[in-house]
Amino acid sequence: MTKKEYPRIGETVFYETLENGLRVAIVKKPGFRKKMAFLSVLFGSADVNFTYKGEKYEMPAGTAHFLEHKMFEREGGEDALAVLSKRGATANAFTSTDMTAFHFECTKLFYENLETLVDFVMHPAFTDESIEKEKSIIAQEIVMGEDDPDNALYYNLLRCLFRRHPIRAEVVGTVKSIEGITAEKLMLCHEAFYCPGNMQLVLCGDLDEKETIKKVAELITAPRGFAPARVYPKESEKPFREEKNAVMDVAAPLFLAGAKTEMGLRGSGAIRHELTAALSLSVLMGEASPLYARLYSEGVINETFGYDFESTNGVSFISFGGETDESDRVISDVMREAKNLAENGLDSAFLERRKKSVIGDELRGLSSFDSICYNVACAMSEGYDYFDLVPVIGSITEKEVRNFLAKYVTPGRFAVSTVRGREEKI
């Protein structure tokens, strides 16, 4: 077990890799009554094409999410969620494009709850009938997403940016695609991906590290497994399509513009790229930026305006958007300002203030168990140390920010997705 202390932010973390390959992190939180466990499997909605034991497979869109739902079923149809809830724990799960995670938090009976969590995640107990029944529940979830303008906005942007990459497909799949899911396919995915060598466990709370590791080793005894390698189609730098427009029930028109950035980064390179992106976008169009202040006071954008950086399944992209009647103008102003900053340089005092602010945000994240567990799990899978972010932010230079803006925030790289209301005149 490796102990790492981060005196600057007052954190202590223990890392251990079990013999069967399971990676464990224990984040010590003295004084908290709450404890949280976060068990993640490196299997997401984008892992639909893979090779396992020499065979090639193609799974229906939505398989990882469907499997997540079905893992809660225990022998005799018992619901694991109910078991945990009865003990007062709050449990949930989610599937993203690159991960399936199961987690709970509780204020008592932590080890019993952990045992239940491990038990239901490691041992599928679904049947053909229960899978058929689940299809109607998930179909409702899919249909609900179809009424959500933000959902349409986001996926239409991905479908513009990427030509073939499986992150174009919705995590939940479609009503049609999930029809093709069977118990046999789910069992195969479970066998291939839900193995200790492809999983990570993050625990957070006032825990004794030795006792905890011992319990975990007793609970997760499965062999390492042979999880399939992740291979995704290559994508070009330019977007596949320039725009996609949808009409839905919205009060104000929405837009989301995005561009691909670096691909295939891992470890310290990945985190430096991510933090450079966050800092560059905040300098360019964050709430403290001159551009934001100008567009906001002119009433062109409102508080729904925001930006994001995402890195997943070997690709990264930036996006920005919100409600506005003048999306073309917002986009061209952002491009012009990026060019201006890249060419003429940044106000160095402003950059330093933004860095201080990002450090404050990191400290804030350390009071939230959800945020710690999720971020540590992502960092483990990407191969960097989440608790080292503060010094990395401090070391990002003005030149890196300018290079980022010059390289990625340029018109040729961007695609735009819009949603406007039905009754609106064109």
Partner 1 sequence: METITISPGVRLTVINELKFKTACLSMNVLSPLKKETAALNAVLPYVLRRGTASKPDMQTIEAFLDDNYGARLEAFVRKRGEIQICGFYSDFADEAFLGGETGLLERMTDLMGEMLLSPATFGGRLRKEYVDTERENLIADIRASLNDKRGYANLSLIQNMFKKEAYGVPKLGRELEARKISVATLTRHYKSLIASSPVEVIYVGAENPRRVAAAVKSALSARAPVFGAEIPQTSVFGVSSAKPKFIREEMPLKQAKLSLGYRIEKDAVENDQPALTVMNAIFGGAVTSKLFREVREKRGLCYYASSTVDRMKRAMFVSCGIDTGKYDEAMEAIEAELRAMQNGEITDEELESAKSFIVGAMYSVEDSLPARESVTLNFLLQGLDIKPSEFGGLCDLVTKEEVVACARRVQLDTVFFLAGKGEGK
Of 28-36, 58-66, 119-127, 154-162, the segment contacting partner 1 by CB under 8 A is 28-36
Q: Is 146 in the site for partner 1 (CB under 8 A)?
A: yes
Q: Phi first, then psi: what are they for 105, rounded to 5°? A: -130, 150
Q: Is 231 in the site for partner 1 (CB under 8 A)?
A: no
Segment 272-301, which members bind partner 1 (CB under 8 A)?
A: 287-288, 290, 292-293, 296-297, 299
Among 13, 23, 28, 29, binds partner 1 (CB under 8 A): 29
**By rule CB under 8 A, what string of x and - marks binding of each residue 297-316 to partner 1?**
x-x--xxx------------
Of 74-82, 176-184, 256-264, 265-273, the segment contacting partner 1 by CB under 8 A is 74-82
Q: Which is nearer to partner 1, 47 or 337 (CB)?
A: 337
Tokens in use for 173?
């799949």
Cβ–Cβ < 8 Å for 415, 235: no
Query: To the nearest whole angstrom, how small is the minimum distance from the Cβ of residue 148 to partner 1?
Result: 8
Of 6-14, 156-164, 326-334, 395-403, the segment contacting partner 1 by CB under 8 A is 6-14
N- to C-terminal Cα distance for the chain? 63
Q: Is 147 in the site for partner 1 (CB under 8 A)?
A: yes
Cross-strand bridge partners of residue 5: 12
DSSP states of 151-199 as a string?
HHHHHHHHHHH-SS-GGGS-TT--HHHHHT--HHHHHHHHHHHSSGGGE
CA–CA distances in Å: residue 30 to residues 110, 203, 206, 267: 15, 13, 5, 29
Among 24, 199, 250, 405, binds partner 1 (CB under 8 A): 250
Among 47, 68, 98, 105, binds partner 1 (CB under 8 A): 105
Rounded CA separation 299/324 (Å) = 9
Q: Is 186 in the site for partner 1 (CB under 8 A)?
A: no
Query: To the nearest whole angstrom, how small is the minimum distance from the Cβ of residue 302 to partner 1?
Result: 5
Cβ–Cβ < 8 Å for 342, 406: yes
Q: Provide the residue type at 12 as one letter.
A: T
The residues near 295 (Cβ < 8 Å, ≥ 6 apart) are 301, 305, 330, 333
Q: Which is nearer to partner 1, 12 or 17 (CB)?
A: 12
Rounded CA separation 171/164 (Å) = 15
Q: Is 236 in the site for partner 1 (CB under 8 A)?
A: no
Q: Give the three-state DSSP class for 323.
A: strand
Q: Give the three-state DSSP class for 259.
A: strand
Q: Which is nearer to partner 1, 135 or 241 (CB)?
A: 135
Among 53, 133, 266, 336, binds partner 1 (CB under 8 A): 133
In 23-168, beta strands by DSSP E: 23-28, 35-41, 49-52, 55-58, 90-95, 100-106
**By rule CB under 8 A, what string of x and - marks binding of each residue 322-341 to partner 1?**
-x------------------
Total of chain residues touching partner 1, rule CB under 8 A: 66
Residue 68 catalytic?
A: yes
Opening angle at CA 297, ends 294 and 302, nearest 5: 100
Q: Which is nearer to partner 1, 4 or 364 (CB)?
A: 364
Of 118-126, 329-337, 353-361, 408-416, the segment contacting partner 1 by CB under 8 A is 353-361
Q: Provide the residue type at 307 as one letter.
A: Y
Q: Is 81 in the site for partner 1 (CB under 8 A)?
A: yes
Rounded CA separation 51/56 (Å) = 4
Q: Is 107 in the site for partner 1 (CB under 8 A)?
A: yes
Query: To the nearest whole angstrom, how small is the minimum distance from the Cβ of residue 33 to partner 1?
Result: 5
Residue 18 exposed, middle or buried by CB count within 10 Å (0-12, 13-18, 19+) = middle
Among residues 68, 105, 274, 382, the one annotated as catalytic is 68
Q: Give the distance from CA 353 to its chain's centroid.
A: 27
Q: Is 354 in the site for partner 1 (CB under 8 A)?
A: yes
Q: Is 251 in the site for partner 1 (CB under 8 A)?
A: yes
Which sequence positions are flagged as catalytic?
A: 68
The footprint of partner 1 (CB under 8 A) covers 8-10, 29-34, 79, 81-82, 85-91, 105-108, 133, 136-137, 140-141, 143-144, 146-147, 149-150, 249-252, 287-288, 290, 292-293, 296-297, 299, 302-304, 323, 350, 353-354, 356-361, 363-364, 366-369, 422
